[in-house]
Structure 1
């Protein structure tokens, strides 16, 4: 374990380098002759307690090193490890599992999903810095005839609004260039006019649709009110018919009771006369 080139752990010089420099080195074509041997994957039977929270600089450097080694393996640089090295993973899940195993072996206790998300964030930040430096270089090249300007500030020391200023300045300069040319402003005005007309037409269609929906809603509400009124009238009619039926039944029972009393009285009067 004395060869420093074959040791998969990050060296002191790698740890001292910035993540941006390592990302730039990652985007360069790998050298097949110097690719270190990949570490063997850890056993899947051992449960892992993954670390949460923000990434430290040490963890970020380990992730960048692991991703560089994985790219070397995919490019054929892993063949220097001998016949005992594991086969190169083919699927993205296997590759990120390999990265997780490497990070885990070197003290970065992160899962493959965490490594994948962190790598996406690193690439996004790298692209922002690269675009910023390209804009600064283009501005310096455009003003090469004048006095030399001071060194531009670092992207990471700038405020968020300062990072957006170069983009806004470039967009403003492109618009002023269009105004200075002959035919482009007229074409731009025509495009804006067509866009405004389409927006007005769309707004008109939306307004008509909303009015039609409101009319349908009101009509349906009126129909529901009419149905409710009819239901109440029918309920009142049924109640009245039921009341009249009970009244007729009571009258009939009273008449029958009176007839029975009269019959009983006549029968008693006949018996007493004998």
Structure 2
């Protein structure tokens, strides 16, 4: 998240500069400044393009994310933080549209004043219920002027968006990468065990189902494995495949957001 007051003239879209001048003139005439966005549709129209081309640092790692939730089905991110943010939104079933830096928010300066400040969000997402979320990305270790402005203006930016009926959040690597790691773990487990679970024999499924019913809920992967006593080198794999097959069928619940080991809980319910 950046305070872009000093950078509005460098934005790649001249309309943003004209909008800032117009709003500033109106604010002076009215004696007040009210939050506004340009374009008015929050940049969520199909013809919209990013208002600002971010200059990645030398250490930045660009990436390509393909998802039907962005215009054109593909977006090029400028750093790992942006990549993780786009992936998180793309995996959220409540999100239907994602746009990168699609609009500029003009909001009143904290402490009063009629000259509006300008802010460009890193991401904007529209939910299926029609609500909109603006997201600012920030590394926690930033201590330069940008980081100082981020802390100073966060309240004013949030208040400006709230007045327009738009949600606002600041995401850091601590939140994004921790969650992304859990999601990746869950996806990898599903994909890795899908073939084995799909090919699990009826006898193994019946034995696993019987073992769980005899032990009762809740139980653990280790308890079920000891009860099954598969006599082969792939005994653990057969146990996991059978448990995953039951979980995918909705017969048991596993929390795949955590590492899967012998202490992993097996509960009544559906796969999480």
Normalised to the residue count of structure 2, the TM-score between the two structures is 0.28
**When you count helix as a share of all residues, which structure comes out higher?**
1
Higher share in strand: 2
- Look at both structures and tell me which one has the larger radius of gyration over its CA atoms: 1
Q: Which has the higher contact order (CA 8 A, sep 6+)?
A: 2
